[in-house]
Structure 1
Amino acid sequence: MVKNIGIQVKAPKKTCNNRYCPFCGSLSLRGKLIVGTVVSHKGKNMVVVEREYSRFVVKYKRYERSKSRIHAFISDCMDVSDGNKVKIAECRPLSKTISFAVVEVSE
């Protein structure tokens, strides 16, 4: 059974028994929604998502490209590989570095 998480995303086709899954468990989401690319999927139930953005440098009056890496929780009901575009949502801290959860995978 997949529940409504309050965000307009495609629900996963599979189900899981993980209590930290936003769709099958009891993890609530709040705050930011970020779109990025999966860089690493080596950890257990964790992915590293990289997002690129431009920021203004006042001294030179130009923009520079920057990127940041965010650790996000991934549940068992989603299939993710390196290079996939994902949408992550902010949640409560799940560990020292994980405060986001993957809510949608787009190929």
Structure 2
Amino acid sequence: MIKMIDPTIKPPEKECQDRDCPYHGNLSVRGQVLEGRVVSDKMDKTVVVERGYAEGVPKYERYERRSSRILAHNPPCINAQEGDVVKIGECKSLSKQKAFVVIEKKEGE
């Protein structure tokens, strides 16, 4: 079982045989835990998560909206799809661009 940073995260009901699953495999989650919306799920076991944030511009004393896209591993037991709001956690590098894993799919959003 995963040792989570946040105890409010609930594990999925389904089981899977994925070795890169934080719940049923041996992948440890450490570091940042971010929240965002899945904008693409076309890759195999990978989703693109977009998160928006406000960045301060000191010259104009205002904030501007920015967004970043993060590739995250999508275990079969969670199976996040396009439009879902998910929590992703930082893990070891799984590929050249993928260093996050989906740890929870938010319900009712």
Cα distance in 1 for residues equivalent to 2:67 and 2:97? 17
TM-aligned CA deviation for residue 26 of structure 1: 0.2
Question: What amino acid is the match of 1:74?
Answer: N
Cα distance in 2 for residues equivalent to 1:33 and 1:6? 10
TM-aligned CA deviation for residue 78 of structure 1: 1.0
TM-score by length of 2: 0.92
Answer whether contact 2:46 2:74 (CA < 8 A) is retained: yes
- Residue in structure 2 matched with residue 29 of structure 1 by the alignment: 29
For structure 2, the residue ranges without an aligned partner over 5 or more in a row are none
Question: What amino acid is the match of 2:20?
Answer: Y
Cα distance in 2 for residues equivalent to 1:59 and 1:100? 34
TM-score by length of 1: 0.94
Aligned pairs, how many? 105
Cα distance in 1 for residues equivalent to 2:89 and 2:17? 20
Which of the numbers 4, 8, 11 marks the counterpart of 2:2? 4
Question: What amino acid is the match of 1:57?
Answer: V
Greater than 4 Å deviation, 4+ residue runs: none
Cα distance in 2 for residues equivalent to 1:39 and 1:102? 14
- Residue in structure 2 matched with residue 85 of structure 1 by the alignment: 85
TM-aligned CA deviation for residue 61 of structure 1: 1.0
For structure 1, the residue ranges without an aligned partner over 5 or more in a row are none
Identical pairs, percent: 47
TM-aligned CA deviation for residue 101 of structure 1: 0.4
Cα distance in 2 for residues equivalent to 1:75 and 1:44? 10
- Residue in structure 1 matched with residue 97 of structure 2 by the alignment: 97
Answer whether contact 2:46 2:72 (CA < 8 A) is retained: yes
Query: In the alignment, does 2:55 pair up with 1:55?
Result: yes
- Residue in structure 2 matched with residue 14 of structure 1 by the alignment: 14
Cα distance in 1 for residues equivalent to 2:3 and 2:12? 12
Look up the SS of the partner of 1:14 in the other structure. coil
RMSD: 0.9
